[in-house]
Amino acid sequence: MSAAAHIIASDAEAIAVATALAAEITPGADERDRRHQHPLAQLQALGRSGLLGIIIPGELGGTGASFTTLAEVLRLLAAADASFAQVPQPHYVTLLAVLLAGTPEQQAFFAAEVLAGKRFGNALSERGTRTSMDYRTTIRRDPSGSWRINGTKFYCTGSISADWVPTYALDAERRLLLAYVPRNAAGLQVLDDWQAIGQRGTASGTVTLDDVQVPDAYVVALWRALEGPQIWNAFARFLHAALDVGIAEGALHAGATFLRTRTRPWSEAGVERASDEPHILLRYGQLATELAAATALLRRAGHLLDAAWRNTDADSAARASAAVAEAKAYAAETAVTIASEIFAACGTSAADESSGLGRHWRDARTHSIHDPVRWSHHSAGYYAVHGTFPRSRGHGGAAAAR
């Protein structure tokens, strides 16, 4: 990828750049979805835009933008093309891991990489383990003192076109390390075998690691950062919430355009236009209000997360994590509801493949099952009742974010 990335100067500029990029990628979104196409050219534009480095602090040369701003960026991009917008989600999560757990040298090195437009993919999850939080991939010292990684990963969103592939692996003491593997490292292979009903362009398929060699400089001792109160897990879920809010917004607007331009009024309504039917106006107002509620919860979570990042302790981390859980569950359910309900308003012709409206529901349905909504509600309820966040969600526990 190009090494000439723009440096974004402020939160406001980040929003402006994202707004412009969203406008640029919107027209091709339906076509890319039909062709299951990974948005390579669009991702190159993302790299050049400078958006990949906005959460890097000023002292490392970045924008130092808030998490709230980052969520706005992802929301804007997801409203345009949710597959495209999900690709940088693991980038930001693994970038924050460097900021949280990397050595000063690692932070300086990887910040410079990202500010040059380089992007992180991911090789975190694995198929076939007892639960999705269990890992078989190993990292061991070889005789030369380097590390060697062996394993097979899935759900590796964006790795096919990334510059680095951050990989979860367990060391000999079964501690979780995060190894940043160069995309072109010998023994690393990325397969384009993602065949989902939605988020088709994310290339969220298989990565295999066959005795891949990495130096100490590329390995972050993530487990240490996860021992105490932290907001890294919440940050990852927060970005998923932003994507779901964006999907909901994209669906609502696509439905509105269809309603205004294509839908015929129902015969009993006695109006000339479907968009003047009282029942449709009521329903659309309800859906728009659900979207407003999801957006408000996302911002609330963002403010609490920003505060907890500045000053992390058990209370601030738990409060922010609960707010993120509420926002994520709400956003996921809202995205699925809106993407489905626009069909009820738009009528039979909306079910034609050519309408393009199906993409929104398929994307919402696919992305919203990243992790179960029921357990997000559960953790928010746990916090409301007990005033703490469940350890199983990664607070002083071993669970790791994706």
Partner 1 sequence: MSAAVKLPQGDTAPVIASDAEAIAVATAYAAGIAPGAADRDRSGAHPFAELAALGASGLLGIRVPRGFGGADVSHVTVAEVFRILSAADPSIGQIPQNHFVFLEALRYVASPEQQRFFFAEVLRGARFGNAQTERGTKHAKAINTRLLPQPNGDYRVSGTKFYCTGALSAQWIPVLALDEHDQLVLAYVERHAEGVAVIDDWNGIGQRATASGTVTLADVAVPRARVVPHWRLFESPQIWTPIANLPHVAIDVGIAEAAFADALDFLRHRARPWYEAGYERAVDDPLTLERVGRLAGRLHAAHALLLDAARHLDAVPAAPDEATAAQASLLVGQAKAYAGDVAVEIGNDLFAIAGASAADAAHDLDRHWRNARTHTLHDPNRWRYHRFGDYVLNGRLPPNNRAN
What does the binding site for partner 1 look like in residue numbers (CB under 8 A)? 252, 256, 259-260, 275-276, 278, 280-286, 288-289, 292-294, 296-297, 299-300, 322-323, 325-327, 329-330, 374, 376-386
The residue (of 228 and 285) whose beta carbon lies closer to partner 1 is: 285
The CA-atom distances, in angstroms, between 227 and each of 125, 217, 265, 389 are 20, 22, 59, 14
CB of 230 to partner 1, least distance (A): 21
The residue (of 84 and 330) whose beta carbon lies closer to partner 1 is: 330
Token readout for 361 is: 């529901």
CB of 378 to partner 1, least distance (A): 5
The residue (of 48 and 300) whose beta carbon lies closer to partner 1 is: 300
Distance CA 10, CA 169 (A): 36
CB of 260 to partner 1, least distance (A): 7
Distance CA 1, CA 78 (A): 22
CB of 355 to partner 1, least distance (A): 17
The residue (of 83 and 379) whose beta carbon lies closer to partner 1 is: 379
The residue (of 145 and 278) whose beta carbon lies closer to partner 1 is: 278
Strand order in the sheet with 207-214: 188-190, 207-214, 147-153, 138-141, 164-170, 176-182, 219-220
Please name the helix (run of DSSP H) or strand (run of DSSP E) that holds residue 135, with its range, or none: none
CB of 261 to partner 1, least distance (A): 11
Contact 338, 248 (CB under 8 A): yes
CA 332 to centroid of chain Cα atoms: 12
The residue (of 243 and 380) whose beta carbon lies closer to partner 1 is: 380
CB of 252 to partner 1, least distance (A): 7
CB atoms within 10 A of CB 257: 12
